[in-house]
Chain A
């Protein structure tokens, strides 16, 4: 119940294409779902986050789709660029005050030029 399952493990997309990464969770107590981008040798950087009362959130080329009934959420990267090549982690957190994140296993994205 504590896990966040992330797929695919790796993804190759052509430049200009759409990258889609999926995460699923079991614990309905989770109420905050951030996505992080990590380049090799660097710390994760917050990309975008969503609360379960919202079904979709868009920031630039990045969109989170959230399906509360299915307990799934996904990251869509539109018009993918070679500079987007990185590892992406989804995470889930309990209500404020509990603090801890549960991270997915990560998706290594490669965008071909």
Chain B
């Protein structure tokens, strides 16, 4: 399967600071990437869809000024959590989409980034 990496794998920051998380597709070009948030023992919540060269599309209820997404190349998307607060502490996961034979879009996920805001 396709490989997606994330960096950093975990980060601890002080309240009010900004944190950038990188998502890279290592062996494929990802025109579309997705950013998810996952709380403990819960399902994945889609935050936004990131398209290379264009603005991200945010899901309802997600603050686009707080969660800045940039998809500058076909292999890199970044999520910046601005002015982070303790309630932003979560597990953030990205995925890259691969168009498979038969017309299905398959998402391959990164390993996730654990963000803790003190």
Contact = CB atoms under 8 A, between A and B. Distances in A.
A24 to B, nearest CB: 15
Contacts of A31: 104
A49 B93 contact: no
A101 B102 contact: no
A96 B105 contact: yes
A90 to B, nearest CB: 10
A-side interface mostly: loop
B61 interface: no
Interface string B100-118: 0011111111111010000
Interface residues of A, number: 26
B105 A93 contact: yes
B106 to A, nearest CB: 7
3 tightest A-B contacts by CB?
A: A43-B109, A96-B103, A32-B104
Interface of B: 1, 4, 6, 32, 34, 41-44, 46, 49, 91, 93, 95, 97, 99, 102-112, 114
Given A43-B6, A43-B110, A100-B46, 15 more contacts: A31-B104, A32-B106, A34-B106, A42-B112, A44-B44, A89-B44, A93-B105, A95-B103, A96-B99, A98-B105, A100-B34, A100-B49, A101-B107, A103-B43, A104-B43
Interface of A: 31-32, 34, 36, 41-46, 49, 51, 89, 93, 95-101, 103-106, 108
